[in-house]
Amino acid sequence: MTRAATGRPYVVVLGGVADPPPGLEILDSVAEVAAADTPDELAGVIGDAEIVFAWRPDGELLSSAWEKAGSVRWIQTASAGVDRILFPELVQTEVVLTNAAGIYDDAIAEWVLGSMLVFAKGLIGVLDRQRRREWRHHETEVLTRKKVLIAGVGGIGRAVARRCHATGMRVRGVGRTARPGDEPFEIVLGTDELPDAVTWADYVVDALPATPATRAIFDREVFSEMRPNARFINVGRGSTVDEAALVEALRDADIAGAALDVFEQEPLPPSSPLWDMPNVIVSPHMSGDFAGYRIAVVELFLENLGRYVEDKPLKNVVDKRLGFPARA
C-alpha cells in the first residue's frame, strides 16, 4: 500500500470543506487528511492520496482530477447508490469502491410503509379536509393481505419486505435472476418479467439502483399493466422511471397513486405536474436521511479504514460494472 511520508494513509475527503463530516477529527491520529470541494482544490491534494472518502458523491468533481489520482486504491462513498460517483475511467481501474449499503435500509423501509398507510387510510384527504374544517366519515383499507411487488431485492428491498410481512402482506420480488424463493420474498422474478409481475400487485415498490439495465424500466408498458387500484412507490432512483409515462398513468387513472422520493431531475422542477396531483406524495429525496445518519456514515468509513490498514476485506464492495454490491 502507498503511504504518505508519515507512514500513515493519506485520505482526501470529497466535499468536506463547506460541509465537514461529523466526528472525522478522529482520523487525525491515524491518517493524513485533506478536503476538497472544487476541482482546483482536489487537483492540489489528490496526487498522493490512496483513499478518497466521497462524503459528497460527485463523479464529475472526482473525474476532473482523476488523471492526477494515480495513487488512489480505495473510494468509500457516503451513499448507497453509486451512480453519482461512477464514471468510465473509474470503472476500468482496479480501484476498490465501497458504498454505504445497510445504513439507510430501515429508514427507507419505514418511509415506504408510512406511504402505504397514508394511501390505505386516506390520510391525504383527511388532512386536506381538516384544513377546510370539513367533517366527513369514510371507510379505509387495511394492509393485511395486500400484495406487494418489490423491484430490487438488495438490502433496501429486503427491509421493505420484512416490514410488509409484519403487517400481514404478501411479498414478491423482482431481481436480476429469477428464483423460486428467497426469504423474505415468496418468489423472485426476473426483471424481464416486470410487465407481467406488476399485474399481481396492490403496491409496486421501486428499490432499483441506477444502471444502464434499469434505465426507464418502469415505462408506459409497465404502468399500463398495473392494476387501476395499485400504488407505485419509488425509493430507488429517478432514472429507473419514465416520468412522463408515470404522469400519464396517474392522469388517466391507470394507477391509483404514487409516493415518490426520487425523480428524473432533482430538485423536482416547479413546473412538474406531479406537484399538483392529489394522489401523489412528493418527497425531496429524504426517505433515508434519519437523524444520526451522517454519524453512521462516518462510523462505517472508520470501520472500513481499520480493515483497509489491516489488509482485511472491506465491507460493501461494489461491483463497478454492475453498479452495486453483488450478492453471493
Specify the CATH superfamily of domain 10-102+291-309. Answer: NAD(P)-binding Rossmann-like Domain (3.40.50.720)
Indicate the class that CATH gives domain 105-282.
alpha beta
Contact 161, 184 (CB under 8 A): yes
Q: Quick one: pLDDT at residue 328?
A: 35
d(CA 58, CA 86): 9
* Residues annotated catalytic, as ranges: 237, 266, 285
Q: Give the 3-state secondary structure of residue 68.
A: helix
CA atoms in the 13 A half-sphere facing the CB of 120: 17
d(CA 286, CA 169): 25
Whether 85 contacts 75, CB under 8 Å: yes
Q: What is the mean pLDDT of each run of 10 residues along the chain (328 residues)?
A: 69 96 90 96 97 98 97 98 96 97 98 98 96 97 98 97 98 96 95 98 98 97 98 98 98 98 98 97 98 97 96 97 79
Report CA torsion sign: 112, 115, 119, 122. positive
Give the residue extent of every domain in the chain: 10-102+291-309, 105-282
- pLDDT attached to residue 1: 41
105-282 has the same fold as 10-102+291-309: yes
* The Cα angle at residue 300 between residues 294 and 306, in degrees rounded to 5: 140
Give me the pLDDT at residue 5, please: 62
